[in-house]
Amino acid sequence: MGMEIVWKDYDVIVVGSGGAGSAAAHAASGAGARVLVVAKDPIGCSDSKIAEGIVTVRGVAEDTDSHEALSDNLRLAGGDLPIPEITQAFADDSEEAYDWLRRQGVRPRIEKNKAAPVALPIPLGGHTHRRSVGHDNGGLSVGHAAWNAVVQGNGIDYVEDSWFLEIVTASTSDEPSVVGGLIYDAGRGELLCVRAPAVIVAAGGLSTLYFPNTDTMRGNTGDSYALAVRAGAELIDMEQVQFLPFCLTAPPSYEGLLAGEPGTAGYLGVIRDADGKVILDSVMLRTRAECAAAIVKAVEAGKGTERGGCYLDLTANVKGERSGVYYKRFLETSLSGVMATVRQALGRAAAECKELWEVRPGAHYSMGGIRVDEFGSAVSLESRAVVRGLFAAGQAMGGVFGANRLGSTSLSEGPIFGSRAGRAAAALCTGKDRIESKVTQGAFAPYLHFYRNLPGQKGDKTGSGLIRKLQETAWTNIGPARTKGGIEKFLAQINKFRKDARKINISEESLWNQSFIDYVELTNMLDTAHAIAVSALDREDSLGAHMRLDGGVTSILFDKPYSVATYLDDESTFEVDRLPRPSTPWQRLIAYILRDRKRKLGMKLLRILPVSLQDRIIEERYRSVMGNIDPEPHSPSTEVQSDSIDREAA
């Protein structure tokens, strides 16, 4: 292969430049570490940028919103799989993380009377308080913040258009330690051998493993999880893949695009099957997992549309003369980008909520990930050694969300745990416990030998073709609806995919070798899919985002919670183990359940009232949370007419 080998030395390598990676790099460099950021895309062009731009900030709108309440929301929505220390860290640091985003240039809408950021008028599904802050320019501001943190940071170097191939480790005493990473710099046609005692994995998720998905970037191809597990780390909760419930089914160019959140449904929104039957009411109070499960079950029962979806019915919200204008104002101010997409795809009548929206779930987010502690440092089973120097942040890490991620939390998660991981990695590299690099080319030799020999591989397969087949197979067998037989079928097919990967025809080019990139990403997708499948096979009942059609339903009230840990043994075979999780104290659990049922009962009663009475009640509810905001719809001159397509909500 004609690739030049370039050697470099750093303290910390950060894989990914989104909200988590940029915060990690900024924190590590601020603590005195020499940092290299590695990104597939231009710096700042990540899922954080294409998000709707809604951020969870505890206490921003309600003084009664406690740290305990936010931590409980995360744990209970997640089926008690989230790790208490991690959810507490999220609750403790959400305000500081948002302050960091604002220092990097994020500009929220400001409530004039309080000179404070404006929270969405109603809590997003699963949240018990108004704590989601929106931004006029959506995720673009977060993308700019990430760019600013990296490009204008001190002591941070970065390479774009680069694929991180392997985390390089070596044995020191009784445990493996990170000694660097191997990187393909496509723009220069070089292999970078970077010596460093710490790697922070913040390379996003796995949504591109499926289609439809909400991803518009080069692909969340599971790089985070594949890199970590091959390096010896453990993964947890990998069966918990979030499928956003309300993605468009048509036209083809809009398939998979976001059409709203549960909160979009307003007080009177419901989900209907193809026959018009209500299959889920009180949608506004539901989690994403509940909404997705309702649609999937209807489709599997033959009650879905021809495109494999159901209908989100918002029409009742606009029947009230007084409350209807508040509802439309809520959509225009809170979800402007999404509404622009709906208007472009389905027409003006749909955007005005006068017609039903045909929607289906789309792959969005991985709630599972690398097993770490609240500081992002890798942890392991007692029977296995910890990979020293390996950290994770953002969507790469597990333990934050468990069985369901609440809306607006991802853009908080990134800077919260990115900053924590950055500081922890810097302490490892610059403190008393710094690992002195005595590593020679020998540690990199096996990886260099393998990857240098890939270009020029002859075969009759293409990586892009195998990826499309893998997406179809994954959706059918380990997608939103799963069975034991389907999962086992998929596990048998993985071996064939791996054999076919060795038949991919790979160009000998050095610069921008797309066939080489396709091979790398396919391999990562296969490792990630394998981890999902073995985890899904082990969890026999439905829980949160994991839905087994042939199993029961796990009860958060009566069943002991556990996470599934996945790892590679000495024979490079995927193994699983169950990790018991502490249950939420029954007093708090009962209070949460009763509160939830009371709210949903109130919503059902509201739906059967006469329209005139509904109108007065709902108007007062909107007025209580929207304050003095003008309820009148925007005039045509000021109405959002964006042509941008937002693929996902925060």
pLDDT in tens, 534-583: 999 999 999 999 999 999 999 888 899 999 999 999 999 999 999 999 99
Q: In what order do the strands lie in the sheet with 175-185?
A: 4-9, 190-195, 175-185, 162-172
Q: Token match 């509201």: residue?
A: 606
Quick one: CA dihedral 428, 429, 434, 440, positive or negative?
A: positive
The closest of 612, 532, 221, 530 to 367, measured between CA atoms, is 532
Q: Is the pLDDT of residue 647 over 60?
A: no
Q: Measured between alpha carbons, how far is 359 from 357 in angstroms, rounded to an integer?
A: 6
Q: Please compute the mean of the pLDDT values over residues 519-545 and round it to a whole number.
A: 97
Q: 640 pLDDT band (50/70/90 cuts)?
A: very low
**pLDDT given at position 641:** 35
**pLDDT given at position 642:** 35
Q: Measured between alpha carbons, how far is 348 from 361 in angstroms, rounded to an integer?
A: 23
State the DSSP code for 272: E
CA angle 404, 406, 407 (to 5 degrees): 135
Q: Token match 């660097």: residue?
A: 180
Q: Please compute the mean of the pLDDT values over residues 396-415 and round it to a whole number.
A: 93
Report residue 327: phi and psi, to 5°.
-60, -45
| Residues forming a β-bridge with 168 | 180
Q: How far is CA 234 from CA 366, 518, 563, in A?
A: 15, 25, 12
pLDDT in tens, 107-150: 887 776 666 788 888 888 788 899 988 887 767 778 778 888 89
Write the DSSP string, 106-156. Answer: ----EETTTTEEPBPSSPPTT-SS--EE--TTTHHHHHHHHHHHHHTSTTE
Q: 598 pLDDT band (50/70/90 cuts)?
A: very high
Q: Measured between alpha carbons, how far is 195 from 128 in angstroms, rounded to an integer?
A: 46
Q: Is the pLDDT of residue 636 over 50?
A: no
- What number of other Cβ atoms are within 10 A of residue 464's Cβ? 14
Q: 639 pLDDT band (50/70/90 cuts)?
A: very low
- What number of other Cβ atoms are within 10 A of residue 187's Cβ? 11
pLDDT in tens, 161-183: 999 999 999 986 678 999 999 99
- What number of other Cβ atoms are within 10 A of residue 374's Cβ? 21
Q: Measured between alpha carbons, how far is 210 from 275 in angstroms, rounded to an integer?
A: 28
- Percent of the chain residues topping a pLDDT of 70: 92
Tokens, residue 512: 């921008």
pTM: 0.93
pLDDT in tens, 447-457: 999 999 999 99
